[in-house]
């Protein structure tokens, strides 16, 4: 309610400013007054609740009382509007939340994974691209869930920070006595977090400079 009142105050103040300019003869021309009033009202974000009229050198502020009253009654509520009149209220809410999830997925793909639209013409490539996007999103969702459950995503510890830090880790592949060994750099910024959140355990070697990955 406080935010709504501030919008109303800003809208009224914006038009009163123009009204005073007209009264002091600082602006007189019809086009100038209208443009100035519209500019100030738009900037205030209260276009929906105010209008104005300028006739015979008189500037009048018009409050849209019905709109203001309607907004006051709806303060604190989210209103979902749909053209699906046969859908019940619960289904409307569920579909809206699902839409939010889809939009979040697209934001994640762009923000965290830097995936951009790629033009494909063959069905096989289109399906492959879609599969990789879904796989990447599934991994990202699992990562976010594990980090949140283990208390990582708090304050400055964001998902983006985790991705940045884990991207800096270097992994080497070696063949020792016919066996493949993957070794991770000892100075690992998220070593303890990987162990706690994902059960990835590191086994230090004798030289203390590298460590092996158990799984």
- Is 105 in contact with 137 (CB distance < 8 Å)? yes
Among 67-71, 82-86, 115-119, the minimum mean pLDDT is found in 115-119
Among 115-129, 131-145, 195-209, the minimum mean pLDDT is found in 195-209
Summarised one tens digit per residue, pLDDT across range 3-16 is 889 999 999 999 99
Q: Report the pLDDT value the prediction gives residue 26, as an integer from 0 to 100.
A: 93
Q: How many CA atoms lie within 13 A of 88 on its CB side?
A: 1
Q: Report the pLDDT value the prediction gives residue 205, as an integer from 0 to 100.
A: 52
Q: Is pLDDT at 215 greater than 70 in this prediction?
A: no
- Is 202 in contact with 187 (CB distance < 8 Å)? no
**55 membership: H or E segment, kind and range:** strand 50-55
**pTM score above 0.85:** no
Among 42-56, 83-97, 152-166, 198-212, the minimum mean pLDDT is found in 198-212
Q: Is pLDDT at 175 greater than 60 in this prediction?
A: yes
| Mean pLDDT in residue range 36-48 | 93
Residue 40 has which token pair? 């100030």
Q: Report the pLDDT value the prediction gives residue 210, as an integer from 0 to 100.
A: 46
Q: β-pairing, 50-55 with 202-204?
A: unpaired
Q: Is pLDDT at 204 greater than 60 in this prediction?
A: no
Distance of CA 59 to the CA centre of its chain: 41
Q: Report the pLDDT value the prediction gives residue 49, as an integer from 0 to 100.
A: 94
Q: Report the pLDDT value the prediction gives residue 68, as an integer from 0 to 100.
A: 92
């Amino acid at each position: 309610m406080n935010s709504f009142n501030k919008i109303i105050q800003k809208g009224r103040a914006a038009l009163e400013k123009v009204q005073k300019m007209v009264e002091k003869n600082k602006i007189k021309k019809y086009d100038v007054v209208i443009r100035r009033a519209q500019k100030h009202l738009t900037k205030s974000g209260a276009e929906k609740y105010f209008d104005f009229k300028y006739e015979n050198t008189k500037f009048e502020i018009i409050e849209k009382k019905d709109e203001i009253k309607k907004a006051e009654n709806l303060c604190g509520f989210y209103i979902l509007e749909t053209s699906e009149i046969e859908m019940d209220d619960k289904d409307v809410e569920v579909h809206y939340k699902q839409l939010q999830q889809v939009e979040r997925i697209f934001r994640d793909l762009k923000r965290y994974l830097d995936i951009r639209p790629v033009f494909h013409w063959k069905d096989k490539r289109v399906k492959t691209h879609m599969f990789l996007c879904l796989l990447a999103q599934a991994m990202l969702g699992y990562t976010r869930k594990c980090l949140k459950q283990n208390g990582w995503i708090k304050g400055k510890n964001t998902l983006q920070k985790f991705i940045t830090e884990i991207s800096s880790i270097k992994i080497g592949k070696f063949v020792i006595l016919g066996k493949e060994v993957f070794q991770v750099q000892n100075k690992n910024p998220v070593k303890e977090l990987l162990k706690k959140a994902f059960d990835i355990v590191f086994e230090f070697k004798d030289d203390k400079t590298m460590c092996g990955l158990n799984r």
